[in-house]
Amino acid sequence: MSYKSIVLTPVKNEGRILDLFLSCVSMRADYIIIADQNSTDNTFYICKKYPKVIYIKNEHKWLNMSIARQLLLDEARKIPWENMLFCLDADEILSWNVINNKDFEHCLVHLKSWQSIQLQWIMLRGNINHYRDDNFIWWNIWKHFIFMDDRKYNFNLTVTTSEPRMPEDYMKDSMILKHIKNLHFQFIDIPRMLSKQRRYRVHDFLNSTSKSFLTIIEINMMYFITKYNYNFHLSKTPKEWLNNYEITIKDHDFDNKKWYYWYEKDTLEVFKQYGTYKFRWLDIRDINRNEVAKKAVINWDFTDPRNRIIKIYHKCQFLLEKIRGIVPQWVKKILARKLK
């Protein structure tokens, strides 16, 4: 069975890494579909450099990945082939051993139209030469990244900031490939990563059906682990994961000189529309937003709406995370019912 390899990638202001991403994925993909959500950087011009890129616009103002991924899926289905879809973000690349790999090709050729492939999500840390391999919640995780599209299923357009990357019907029957990795670059630039996580907290809360205190705790705890960077263990990145990518990657400058990132401006725009009070319990106050507002030329006074109790809660999240780890599951279920 012949097929076309199509990479589906939603982007917004990913110019700092998009060139690197497109250089690497172009080595294997037949097509790369980019859904650009109102970028204000050089995203469009970078895409124009690569002949395999199909550039489409995502006109939605707020973060909703279900809509973005459905736009990508609809565009891919305009290509009249059996389509193998690779669902990647712009700060990810598949390990180099995916190139001309006969075992990998054998798996793809024999993938059924309703099946998907799970790969291990590898968190590069600090630079491309090391990755995190301890008990970090995002380390030992396998995610659905590849599926053969039979054009039957679509996304449930429930508002979401990240997952799933494919319609859930394709995730019911999947195979795990252990030798191919998905390399994630998010943790190479820690300040940028924290800025991104603050934005995700705000949008997760804004899009949640329940605005209860339990929802806030769940959001804070989900992202807090990315802030806790003590006692972690790094291992050296195997050469076969990078190999001929290395020249492209080493020429890339990961050190963004700007002292704030566009994520902060997006968060400030949310505050400007909805105010800051409803977000007061979210753990997003580890940056001076008035300074960011001046830099982003947003005329707004972002007064901290937290009282002393909220500030103490934010400072004690590490302790709360430790307590949560030892609380029995049945107690958590009871608390969840009480707090709804």
Sign of CA pseudo-dihedral 201, 46, 101, 171: positive
Mode of pairing for the β-strands spanning 130-132 and 234-236: antiparallel
Contact in structure between 104 and 177 (CB atoms under 8 Å): yes
Report, in angstroms and rounded to the nearest whole number, the Rg of the chain calculated over CA atoms. 21
Could you tell me which residues come within 8 angstroms of residue 290 by beta carbon, excluding any fewer than 6 positions away?
301, 302
Query: Looking at the domain assignment, is residue 239 inside a domain?
Result: no
- Tens of pLDDT, residues 219-236: 998 888 777 766 788 999
Residues 70 and 96 in one domain: yes
CB atoms within 10 A of CB 340: 9
Q: What's 155's domain CATH number?
A: 3.90.550.10
Q: Range of 133's domain?
A: 4-187
**Mean of the per-residue pLDDT values for the chain?**
85
Mapped onto helix, strand or coil, the DSSP state of residue 145 is: strand
- Tens of pLDDT, residues 13-59: 998 899 999 999 999 999 999 999 999 889 999 999 999 999 999 99
Contact in structure between 142 and 53 (CB atoms under 8 Å): no
Residues 176 and 75 in one domain: yes
Query: Looking at the domain assignment, is residue 241 inside a domain?
Result: no
Whole-angstrom Cα distance, residue 211 to residue 206?
8
What's the predicted TM-score (pTM) here?
Answer: 0.85
Residues 175 and 225 in one domain: no
Query: Looking at the domain assignment, is residue 110 inside a domain?
Result: yes
Residues 52 and 121 in one domain: yes
- Tens of pLDDT, residues 245-274: 765 666 565 655 555 578 888 888 888 889
Q: Provide the number of structural domains found in the chain.
A: 2
Mapped onto helix, strand or coil, the DSSP state of residue 241 is: helix
Query: Looking at the domain assignment, is residue 23 inside a domain?
Result: yes
pLDDT higher than 50, residue 340: no
